[in-house]
Amino acid sequence: MNVSLLEPRLFRDAHLYTPEDQGICDLLVAGGKIIAYEPAGVDITLPGCQVSSLDGATVCPGFFDQHVHLIGGGGEAGPHTRTPEVQLSKLVTAGITSVVGLLGTDGITRHPESLLAKTRALEHEGISAWMLTGAYGLPSPTITGSIEKDIAFIDKIIGVKCAISDHRSSAPDTAQLANMAAQSRVAGLLGAKAGVSVFHMGSSSRELEPIYEILRCSDVPITKLLPTHVNRAESLFMAALRFAREGGYIDITSSIDAPIDPARAIMMAREGNVPLSRVTLSSDGNGSQPHFDASGNLTGIGVAGFESLLNTLQQLVIEHHLPLEEALLPLTRNVAEFLGFAHKGQLAPGCDADFLVLDEELNIREVWAKGRQMVRDNKAIVKGTFE
């Protein structure tokens, strides 16, 4: 390990959000962890401590993006439309210090084994990374031949993904879906993992009905079933708000801007008596953005970036006047709590030193991951192996 990462470093005069607003504080970091924070003026220095002054700049937890196509997605218009692997610099310059990778429509030319290799590569390059087994279809593609074994035995696998209410799904029946979710749940218990099931939501009129069928015919807790892309259709979003009021989590996609843009979706949830703690935000980064006509024919395709996470945060605070400590929750603590990572998503003693330094307009100045500076002046100073 780099010796400099073990040495203590004191960040003075930070306007600290943990994500709660702590006011002007000094933040002490060592060994890749948060050691302490105290109001400015309280001496928390250690021998050999490097000192940096932030002059009141905002410091907040790094973003935890739980829906990224790390090895690419797409392919809906043929092999030439397969999106490429993500580069480390694209993640860190967007403020992402923790990430969960997954497969998309293409579970045929892309494989969980390759996704696991990419997940390990990103961890080696400096950020925290995990993955979901499975893809759009059922039975799920896995590494060991079993959802349960993947989650219980492979350290980086924390759950499973499939697609429902979408013309690209495999049209699984209730028994298949319930069995998948139950396997993930039990494997999570055995492997001390979250054991979640993430459901890509399409625009079908069935909406969340397949998830409710799982709840009706099994005992899988509602908190282990996550519908994502819920802002892609107004009726779907209304159903998602009901699901969250009933105790579930919902995941809003920051790269979907119509019919409900992500900032407006979060405000609608808040105003609709949905606990903000049940709402998460993810980018769907590096995934394809296909457009289909009413007959299911592809009419265009693009690729999702990562800047939409920060853009959403800025819109929530600047345009919707949501306090920053609340606006941060769907990108930080809420995600970590849903995935069962107590050492992520917040700045507290013992947590990983994953944090952002923001300017007055909430633009990213610096990114630190596990105590290592990754971005300076909004430019990546640590890049992937082949960048």
Residues classed as catalytic: 284
Q: How many CB atoms lie within 10 A of CB 58?
A: 18
Q: Give the dihedral sign, CA 165/330/198/374.
A: positive
Cβ contact 282:254 at 8 Å: yes
Alpha carbon separation from 24 to 59, 61, 116, 140, 360 (Å, rounded): 10, 15, 40, 49, 14
User: How many beta carbons lie within 10 A of that of residue 151, not counting itself?
Assistant: 29
Tell the residue number behind the tokens 């330094």, with chain if given: 357
Residue 274 structure tokens: 């949905």
Per the CB < 8 A criterion, the answer to whether 158 and 151 are in contact is yes
Q: Which two tokens stand for residue 297?
A: 């024919």
Look at strands 21-30 and 9-17 and give their pairing. Answer: antiparallel
Cα(371)–Cα(356) distance, integer angstroms: 11
User: In angstroms, rounded to a whole number, what is the distance separating the alpha carbons of residues 268 and 274?
Assistant: 9
Give the single-character DSSP code of 318.
Answer: I
CA–CA distance from 379 to each of 57, 58, 360 (Å)? 17, 18, 18
Strand order through the sheet with 63-68: 63-68, 96-101, 128-134, 157-164, 196-201, 225-228, 250-253, 279-282
What angle (nearest 5°) sits at the alpha carbon of residue 313, between those of residues 310 and 317?
140
Q: Which two tokens stand for residue 282?
A: 């993810």
Burial class (CB in 10 A: 0-12, 13-18, 19+), 294: exposed
